[in-house]
Structure 1
Amino acid sequence: MMLLYRLVRLIETHSQALAASLLLRVQESDQVGDYRNVPPEELKQRVYEIYRHLGDWLLGKTEFDIEKRYVEIGMRRAEQHVPFSQVAMVIVLTKENLWEFLKKESVIDRPVDVFGELEMLQLLEQFFDHAIYYAAIGYERAVAAGARETTAAGKTVLVLEAG
Structure 2
Amino acid sequence: MIMAYRFVRLIETHSEGLAKALRKKIENCPKLVDYHNVPAEELTERVYEVYRHLGEWLLGKTEADIEQRYSAIGKKRAQQGVPSCQVTWTICLVKENLWDYLKQESVIERPAEIFGELEVLELLDQFFDRAIYYAAVGHEQARVEMAQVAIHS
Q: TM-score, normalised by structure 1?
A: 0.90
State how many pairs are aligned.
152
Describe how 1:1-163 pairs up with structure 2 within 5 A: 1-148=1-148
* Residue segments in structure 1 that go unaligned for 5+ positions in a row: 151-158
Structure (1 or 2) with the greater strand fraction: 1
Instruction: Report the residue type matching 1:125 in the other structure.
Output: D
Q: What CA distance in whole angstroms lies between the structure 1 residues aligned with 2:95 and 2:142?
A: 25
CA RMSD of aligned residues (A): 1.4
**Following the alignment from structure 1 to structure 2, what is the Cα–Cα distance between the partners of residues 38 and 72?**
14
**Aligned AA for 2:54?**
L
Question: Hey, what's the Cα distance between the residues in 1 that align with 2:36 and 2:149?
Answer: 27
- Percent identity over the alignment is 59
The one-character-per-residue Cα deviations of 1:83-118 (angstroms, maximum 9, x if unpaired) are 100000000000011110000001111011111111
Structure 2 residue runs without a partner (length 5+): none
Mark the structure with the bigger radius of gyration. Answer: 1
C-alpha distance in structure 2 between counterparts of 1:9 and 1:46, whole Å:
18
State the secondary structure of the residue aligned to 2:109. Answer: coil
TM-score by length of 2: 0.96
By relative contact order (CA 8 Å, sep 6+), the higher-ranking structure is: 2
Give the drift of 1:149: 9.2
Q: Residues 36-67 of structure 1, C-alpha deviation per residue, up to 9 Å, x if partnerless?
A: 00000000000000000000000000111000
- Report SS of the residue matched to 1:147: helix
2:74 partner letter:
G
